């Protein structure tokens, strides 16, 4: 920028033995350029102080090894502190989702029994459960639990066409917690 605040114009310099280059006046710091009939004239002026302005070190383009190691150590400490609660939350969430699925399958068994006017049998084992038609032996729905989760004991509940069911309490548990699914005599299912 010129001392009067106007932007620096672009000029063409001709250097003997090479092609013309376009440069701004700021690349010619320390010289005053004036147009004369015979070409451009350059002379030293008061703009020479532009060369003496402090410049920032522009060579640094990355991080040092120490900085990277400190950041990696901080991330490792935060991950180590937060990992156990996250794993416990995930296990609890899986257990709750499996309890909700069990309750939904019990409600499905009741609705299907009413709509088809047949008795349906819901049988559970520690590894999973299945919904069957006791007359034909057809398996209508089946679910197996993962290794970390299961039902406590073998249980059987029948659903009747008039909407009633055998009252049964299902305890679904994993290594941290348990969910109680209560099938009432009226066929209504509650998750606790």
Quick one: which of 153, 133, 152, 149 has its CA closest to 141?
A: 133
Whole-angstrom distance, CA of residue 43 vs CA of residue 25: 13
Nearest to 45 by CA among 33, 35, 31, 34: 31
- How far is 32 from 46, CA to CA, in rounded Å? 8
pLDDT at position 66: 95
Write down the domain spans for the chain. Answer: 18-52, 99-191
Q: Which CATH number fits domain 99-191: 3.40.47.10, 2.40.70.10, 3.55.40.10, 1.20.1250.20?
A: 3.55.40.10
How is residue 110 written in tokens? 């009741």
Show pLDDT as tens, one digit a residue, over the chain (192 residues): 556 666 655 555 444 444 445 555 444 455 555 555 555 555 554 544 555 555 555 566 788 999 999 999 999 999 999 888 888 898 899 999 999 999 999 999 999 999 999 999 999 999 999 999 999 999 999 999 887 888 988 999 999 999 999 999 999 999 889 999 999 999 999 998
pTM above the 0.95 mark?
no
């Amino acid at each position: 920028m010129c001392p009067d605040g106007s932007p620096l114009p672009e000029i063409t310099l001709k250097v003997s033995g090479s092609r013309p280059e376009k440069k701004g006046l700021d690349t010619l710091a320390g010289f005053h350029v004036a147009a004369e009939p015979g070409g451009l004239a350059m002379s030293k002026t008061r703009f020479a102080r532009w060369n003496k302005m402090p410049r920032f070190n522009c060579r640094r383009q990355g991080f040092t090894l120490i900085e990277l190691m400190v950041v990696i150590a901080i991330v490792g400490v935060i991950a180590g502190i937060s990992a156990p609660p996250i794993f416990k939350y995930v296990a609890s969430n899986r257990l709750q989702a499996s309890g909700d699925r069990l309750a939904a399958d019990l409600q499905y068994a009741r609705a299907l029994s009413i709509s088809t006017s047949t008795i349906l049998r819901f049988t559970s084992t520690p590894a999973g459960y299945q919904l069957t038609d006791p007359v034909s032996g057809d398996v209508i729905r089946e679910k197996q639990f993962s290794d970390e989760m299961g039902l406590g004991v073998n249980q059987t509940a029948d659903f009747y066409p008039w909407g009633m069911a055998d009252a049964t309490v299902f305890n679904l548990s994993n290594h941290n917690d348990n969910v109680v699914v209560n099938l009432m005599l009226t066929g209504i299912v509650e998750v606790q």
